[in-house]
């Protein structure tokens, strides 16, 4: 029996490897229209300054995360464990590493967005520079 080799058509939806770098960006939900919005990379300040929802054209900004009440106690208490022996010192160093990685991932992955608070067009205080 002879088997014929046939060419298989490409899948209609692209896989993760087929996506370009701009399509691999993380997604967030627009708080106004509840549709997905591509967010820029965490350190792309220009991208965050120009972020708009493509569906409703709302200006968006990065929503701050509650980092201080979660991670500061861990960064204060864990080094104090090293006073109570070698095993606890090793455990505290490992937990500090895990806490640091969790902090970085919490800040950079799946960044939530909020509606940008627009500044008023007229300044509250006018400077009299020209002496008028």
C-alpha span between 88 and 26 (Å, rounded)? 38
For residue range 24-54, what is the model confidence (pLDDT) as tens digits?
Answer: 567 888 888 888 888 888 788 888 888 888 8
What's the pLDDT at 88?
92
- For residue 12, being part of any structural domain is answered with no
Enter the DSSP assignment of 120. Answer: P
What's the pLDDT at 14?
41
- For residue 1, being part of any structural domain is answered with no
Total number of domains constituting the chain = 1
C-alpha span between 59 and 116 (Å, rounded)? 5
What's the pLDDT at 25?
63
With beta carbons less than 8 A apart as the criterion, state whether 27 and 38 touch.
yes
What's the pLDDT at 57?
85
Q: Which domain holds residue 49?
A: 25-115
- For residue 70, being part of any structural domain is answered with yes
- For residue 10, being part of any structural domain is answered with no
Q: Report residues of the chain scoring pLDDT below 70.
A: 1-25, 119-121, 123, 132
- For residue 73, being part of any structural domain is answered with yes
Nearest to 64, CA basis, from 25, 110, 112, 10: 112
- For residue 63, being part of any structural domain is answered with yes
- For residue 67, being part of any structural domain is answered with yes
What's the pLDDT at 64?
83
- For residue 31, being part of any structural domain is answered with yes
């Amino acid at each position: 029996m002879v088997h014929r080799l046939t060419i298989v058509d490409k899948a209609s939806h692209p896989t993760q490897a087929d996506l370009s770098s701009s399509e691999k960006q993380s997604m967030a939900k627009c708080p106004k229209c509840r549709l997905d919005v591509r967010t820029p990379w965490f350190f792309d300040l220009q991208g965050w300054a120009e972020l708009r929802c493509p569906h409703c054209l709302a200006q968006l900004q990065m929503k701050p995360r509650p980092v201080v009440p979660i991670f500061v106690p861990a960064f204060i208490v864990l080094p104090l464990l090293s006073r109570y022996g070698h095993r606890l010192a090793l455990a505290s160093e490992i937990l500090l590493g895990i806490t640091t990685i969790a902090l970085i991932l919490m800040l950079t992955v799946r960044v939530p967005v909020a509606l940008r608070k627009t500044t008023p067009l007229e300044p509250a205080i006018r400077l009299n520079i020209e002496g008028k």
